[in-house]
A and B are shown apart, each in its own frame.
Chain A
C-alpha cells in the first residue's frame, strides 16, 4: 500500500486503516447497513462481540474509488485487521463459520455460531472520511 500525501482521501483512508486495528469499510453504518453484503459482514463481527471501526463509503464516491485502488479489491465491504485486508463478505463469512475470524480477532468463538444481532458490543461512532475532505 502506497500512501500518497498529495491525495487527501487516500491519506485519510490509509490513516484510518493504520489507526484502527479492526476497521470495516461498508455501505451505510453498522446500525443501518445499506447493502446485504455489508449487513452480513457486520453481523459476523457483532456475532463475535468484536469491536470494530466502521467507515461508510457512500457519502462520497471517491472514498470507494480510492479504497479499491489502495487495497486492490473491487467490492464493498472490506475488512482490515491490523492494517491487512482480510476480505469482503464471502471471506469474512467463511472465516466466521470456520472459527478463523474469532482466532484472528482474538475473541472467543461462540459455541454455536449464529449470525444474529442479539448482544452487539458497544460500537464507536462510525468514522466519517467525507468530513475530512475540507
Chain B
C-alpha cells in the first residue's frame, strides 16, 4: 500500500519549497506517526525538501492533540527555523487544534488559515481567510503559518527528485529522544477520552430517479409537493 502525502500536507510542503526558492534556505519535513510514515516523508523529500524527521514511538500511540503538539514542538526545537508551515487541519481528524497548540509551545506567533504567504524582509505577510473575505496579517519571523490545500498546486516529484530522495537523511526520534516523558504523551498523557463510539442517526433513504429527459420537471414536482412552488 502506498502512503500518499495528505493533500493539505503536500500544499504545506509546496508552499515551503516556493518560499525557499524565492528567499533561500532549506525545508525540513517533520511528522509524527507509525514507522511507515517514512514513506510520506520520502514523498516530501522527492518534492524537494532537504531532510526529514519522524517522531515514532509506541508510547505516542493514542496521543491527543496536545500530546501530538508537544512531540512536534520538542522535535522542532532540536533544530533552527524561521518558519513552521502546517496544514490547517489533517484530513483524518479535522480537529485543527495542533498548529495553534504548537505555535504556543514554540513561543512563536501563529498566522492561520493562510490563502497567500509572502516574506517581506524579516516579516511574514499572510492573506488570511475569514468568514467575510480575508484579512492581511503580518508578524516578525519566526512564525508558524497554517495553509489549506487550496493555496497552491503541489508539484509532482521529478524522477531526479525521487532518486535523490533515497539518499536524503531521515532522522527518527523516540519520545525519549525529544525529552518527552510518558505522562505527557500517548494514551496515558491524553486529556480527552472517547466515551462511546456510535453511528449518527441516518436519514431515511430518499427517492433517486434517473433522468429520462424530465429530471427538471420531476424536481419541480417534488418542490411543489413541499409547497415551495
A and B co-occur in one complex: no
Q: Report which A residues bind B (CB closer than 8 A).
A: none
Q: Report which B residues bind A (CB closer than 8 A).
A: none
